[in-house]
Structure 1
Amino acid sequence: MDLSRIKGIIPPIITPMNADESINEEELRRQVNRLIDAGVHGLFPFGTNGEGYILSAEEKEQVLRIVVDETKGRVPVYAGTGCVSTAETIKQSLMAKEVGADVLSIITPSFAAASQEELYNHYKEVAEAVDLPIILYNIPARTGNSLAPATVARLSKIPNIVGVKDSSGNFDNMLQYIEKTKDSDFIVLSGNDSLILWCLLAGGRGGIAGCANVYPDTMVNIYEQFIKGDINKAREYQDSIRSFRDCFKFGNPNTIVKTAVSLLGYPVGKCRKPFSSLSEEGINAIKKVLEENKQKGMK
């Protein structure tokens, strides 16, 4: 694909579920169109906000087929194919290629501690086995393994490893990714919604933004206003999501996001158990923020 299309705001689209926790295909198709109509620059099924961590391999294929079919090439589709083992990651990545994904987003292996050399070899083997652009995915708080800037620099020299999503929350780490790959076309995306503008200002290309499931127009405008050169306006859009992100203190961010989309009137269901509960205090806080932001015109 044209790598210049890897940019902007890419929602890790939520996975709507029925009451029995099966995939709600009709609502997933609706969410695809809702986000594309808002101007998003890509879609990322079964990422963290899409509950990829709790979907079976068969369900991931089901979700990807639906998203690819409904997207119809309007924006690139990113598939989260990272697994604990190299062999299973390759298997999932080949499935994603067959189904029609444009880009692979591959999270680091989890649970067992991996050395930087083991991480390098893991990604190298996957890249050699699957001819698709690969975005590395660094989220050490969830996986227990962190991609060091030096390792990312090494991996950036492999032709189809084209970028990295950094969800460490450490801006200096993201800056080092940018600095150590600045002499190439390597793409750095923010995985932390509060750092998207700062990533862009530092030379990054955008963000994979969970909040775009709730406020797609607002998130898209962080990028679009930046591209237009209106940094002040981009900053206004960036700052406007703070009140919603403050709700993350009430529970798992995935659950907060999916609950908010449900409260907006979309029948997306709950997150899959056991990650499905929020306190009444948390639900009331989300309702309050959604109403306040509605009055401000956020959407």
Structure 2
Amino acid sequence: MNAGDPDADAAAGTDPGADDPLGLHGIVPPMITAFAEDESVDEAATATHARFLVDRGVHGVFALGTNGEFPLLTAEERDRVVETVVDEVGGEVPVLAGVGAESTRETIERANAAEAAGADGLVVVVPYYFPVDDDGLVEHYRRVADAVDTPVYAYTFPDMTGNELSPAALDGIAAIDGVEGLKDTSEDVVQMQRSLREHPDFTYLIGANRLAHVGLSMGCDGAVLSVANAFPELAVDLYEAVQAGDDERARELQGDLSDLLDAMERGPFLAGVKAALDLRGFDVGPMRSPLRSFSTEQKDALQDALVDLHDDDKLLVE
């Protein structure tokens, strides 16, 4: 397990959750999974994306989140993606692995595999498809945490899972030994404020791109931003501006990230990240069906929009 460097954290002005053995903080992009043209997993391109992110200053990487298209991968493919990312950047930054599934049993199997592969942290999305009540959610996380030695981070994304993580459920989950934090993509600022107040030792990662500045300013330890997959430099600059207390600069950078997101959403769901990476010179392949990639026309429009957002095309050139 590769814990964060407390001295480096202090020097950067960060204040990660006091009980988090990884000291998670900063920008932790939810990586894409690269595919070949036949939609098989392209391990080499996936590793190249991890390297691209780490070389541009991100503070961690998160494999097999929503942008990693994890529900569309087989169990074996998921395990190989984690191994690939750990092999490429493990030991340089914390590597988080998404291990969530519909059932507790499958979640534990993926958690055990990711732990064996060397993942530093395990991200467990709230179970999806079937409705699950508060007691069921707490028991789910307790069983997963009991099955592994690696730190576990809960992940709420009600728009995707159909299940809310209520304040009562979060209270129960936060009390479980081994559960160290939360990735929150609920966009519920009121609940985020409550959670930060009620669980000050819990690591809190904001997962909503348009709320990055708000969340970091409120005390979130880091941000898991899809835009950072294609433009990690801007996301890192935003985090550093907040840490430096430069609110004017942080607001400006948040505006840039939100504008980029607007441009990237002018096409099929999730596909804007891969289209933007392609424009930056990184061929990470198509989306896996039934998700759709940008068409040539949509990609041309994205390039025009990105150039319009900036006086030059520096973001599109390596």
TM bin (shorter chain) = over 0.9
Taking the aligned partners of 1:196 and 1:243, their CA distance within structure 2 comes to 13
Q: Does 1:117 align with 2:138?
A: no
Q: Does 1:195 align with 2:211?
A: yes
Taking the aligned partners of 1:78 and 1:249, their CA distance within structure 2 comes to 25
Taking the aligned partners of 2:130 and 2:49, their CA distance within structure 1 comes to 35
* Cα deviation 1:100-130 (Å, max 9, x = unaligned): 0000110011111111111111011111111
Taking the aligned partners of 1:241 and 1:195, their CA distance within structure 2 comes to 10
Report deviation, 1:247: 3.1
The answer for the alignment partner of 1:139 in structure 2 is 157
Contact 2:268 2:293 in 1 (8 A): no
Q: Does 1:286 align with 2:299?
A: no
Report deviation, 1:211: 0.5
Contact 2:22 2:94 in 1 (8 A): no
Taking the aligned partners of 1:255 and 1:267, their CA distance within structure 2 comes to 13
The partner residue of 2:238 within 222, 227, 236 is 222
Q: Does 1:103 align with 2:121?
A: yes
- Amino acid in the other structure paired with 1:42: G
The partner residue of 1:179 within 189, 193, 197 is 197
Taking the aligned partners of 1:139 and 1:51, their CA distance within structure 2 comes to 14
* Cα deviation 1:146-168 (Å, max 9, x = unaligned): 11122112211112111111111
Task: Give structure 2 stretches of 5+ with no counterpart.
Answer: 5-20
Name the stretch that deviates more: 284-293 or 90-99.
284-293
Report deviation, 1:76: 0.2
Q: SS at the partner of 2:62?
A: coil
- Amino acid in the other structure paired with 1:82: G
Q: TM-score, normalised by structure 2?
A: 0.88
Report deviation, 1:280: 6.2
Task: Give structure 1 stretches of 5+ with no counterpart.
Answer: none
Write the mapping of 1:64-103 to structure 2, written as runs, cut at 5 A: 64-103=82-121
Contact 2:56 2:233 in 1 (8 A): yes
Report deviation, 1:145: 0.6
Name the stretch that deviates more: 137-146 or 281-290.
281-290
Write the mapping of 1:121-270 to structure 2, written as runs, cut at 5 A: 121-182=139-200, 185-247=201-263, 249-270=265-286
Taking the aligned partners of 2:298 and 2:168, their CA distance within structure 1 comes to 40
The answer for the alignment partner of 2:47 in structure 1 is 29
Taking the aligned partners of 2:217 and 2:266, their CA distance within structure 1 comes to 31
Taking the aligned partners of 1:150 and 1:252, their CA distance within structure 2 comes to 35
Name the stretch that deviates more: 288-297 or 70-79.
288-297
* Cα deviation 1:174-201 (Å, max 9, x = unaligned): 222212213xx10111110111111111
Contact 1:110 1:144 in 2 (8 A): yes
> RMSD of the alignment, in Å?
1.7
CA gap of 1:4–1:61, structure 2 versus 1, over 3 A, is: closer
Aligned residues: 297
Taking the aligned partners of 2:44 and 2:128, their CA distance within structure 1 comes to 32
Taking the aligned partners of 1:248 and 1:110, their CA distance within structure 2 comes to 26
Contact 2:238 2:254 in 1 (8 A): yes
* Cα deviation 1:204-245 (Å, max 9, x = unaligned): 111111101111000011111211222221222111112222
- Amino acid in the other structure paired with 2:62: F
CA gap of 1:298–1:265, structure 2 versus 1, over 3 A, is: closer
- Amino acid in the other structure paired with 1:73: G
Q: SS at the partner of 1:274?
A: coil
Contact 2:26 2:59 in 1 (8 A): yes
The answer for the alignment partner of 1:48 in structure 2 is 66
Taking the aligned partners of 1:289 and 1:163, their CA distance within structure 2 comes to 36
Q: Does 1:58 align with 2:79?
A: no
Amino-acid identity (%): 36
Contact 1:149 1:180 in 2 (8 A): no
Q: Does 1:276 align with 2:277?
A: no
